[in-house]
Amino acid sequence: MSVPTSITRRERKRVLTTGVTVLHCRYVLNFRGPRTGKRRQLFFRSQREAIAKRDSILAAIATGSYSESRSSMTVAGAIEHWLDNRRTEVKRSTWKTYRRLSTNCIIGPLLVGSPAQRTAYRMDGVKPERTRFVDMLGAVKITDLTTGDIRRWHRTLRAESRSANMSKTLLRAALALAAEDFGVRPPPMPTKLGRGRSRPKRTILTPAQAGVLLKAAQEDSHGLYYAWPFLTGTRPSEQLGVLWEDIDLEHNIVSIRRMQERTGELFEMTKTAAGAREIPLSPMLRELLLRRRSSCPHRQGEPHRVFPGPKGGALTY
């Protein structure tokens, strides 16, 4: 790719604080970014420096490694760009969680102290004793960011019992989007960071145990409630958001298109854009739905839920 460039000499008079007028000479490298077409100007003290920079830029463009004006993008800028892109793709409460994690754990600064001290600081804004602020990655340029920086940052979060792994996932996604949109090449993510605190191991039901549960559901008037997640694989919030209008018994399909908040409010969007889907009804699930439809309670003026509370309203946690 051929990129027109030029080097011009610029002289400007400057008046010093002493009143003396001096002549400042600069050499200006003029060119346009190969992707955006935006005009760029770089200033140098000597013509030799301008020529060397021009040659390095042309070589980078020829090899495809040139990064345009966003080469000065910081981690905080990449996070903001990623959050703007995710705003309409996830539900509101999920986006707020992303924002809170990004601000507190990635952009920083991080308040190091006990949970009670951190809560007191958020309430009254007064920094408690025996606490300190630690700089995070927000002000670091992506081009200056190293794998070691990310490893040390992750170690700090783990020591403070923060959401280190979730924050690392958000950081990885933000850096990947910056690389895709602006050509800013991030460093490799560190490996073998550890799992942090141990968690109780969850035991999954065996096929035989699941069979016992589903058999009991067929004999229980409320069996649809606990058989549904085994037969559809939906989240609890998605299950509680299903309405009878989403059930197509003619084509044996249920449409997952909304979810229910913890307050009982229906939200016309799934947790992620990929969560909106259609799920086929198995013969057992179809039978349970047909049995439930005639006796399902419904409160006048409210959406007709498949999984309502005892009196027909929202079933909350």
Note the pLDDT tens digit of each residue in 109-138. Answer: 876 666 665 555 555 655 556 556 678 899
For 205-238, what is each residue's pLDDT tens digit? 999 999 999 999 999 989 999 999 999 999 999 9
Tokens standing for 219? 């004999």
Residues 61-87: pLDDT tens digits?
Answer: 888 766 655 567 899 989 998 998 888
Q: Is the confidence at residue 144, as pLDDT, over 70? A: yes
Q: In angstroms, how far is CA 240 from the centroid of its own chain? A: 25
| Three-state DSSP class for residue 44 | strand
User: Is it the case that residue 295 has pLDDT exceeding 70?
Assistant: yes
Residue 255 has pLDDT above 70, yes or no: yes
Between residues 310 and 196, the one the model is more confident about: 310
Runs of H (alpha helix) within 102-222: 115-124, 147-159, 164-182, 207-218
- According to the model, what pLDDT value does residue 85 have? 86
> What average pLDDT does the segment 276-285 reach?
94
Nearest alpha-carbon partner for 174 in 133, 134, 135, 145 = 145
Sign of the CA dihedral running 247, 252, 258, 261: positive
DSSP 288: H
Which has the higher per-residue pLDDT, 265 or 69?
265
**Token digits for 284?**
């057992």
8 A C-beta contact, residue 45 and residue 27: yes
What pLDDT is stored for residue 93 in this prediction? 82
User: For the chain, which domains are there?
Assistant: 5-66 (no CATH), 75-182 (no CATH), 207-293 (1.10.443.10)
Which pLDDT belongs to residue 42?
A: 80
pTM of the predicted model as reported, rounded to 2 decimal places: 0.56
pLDDT in tens, 162-198: 688 899 999 999 999 888 877 788 889 888 776 555 6
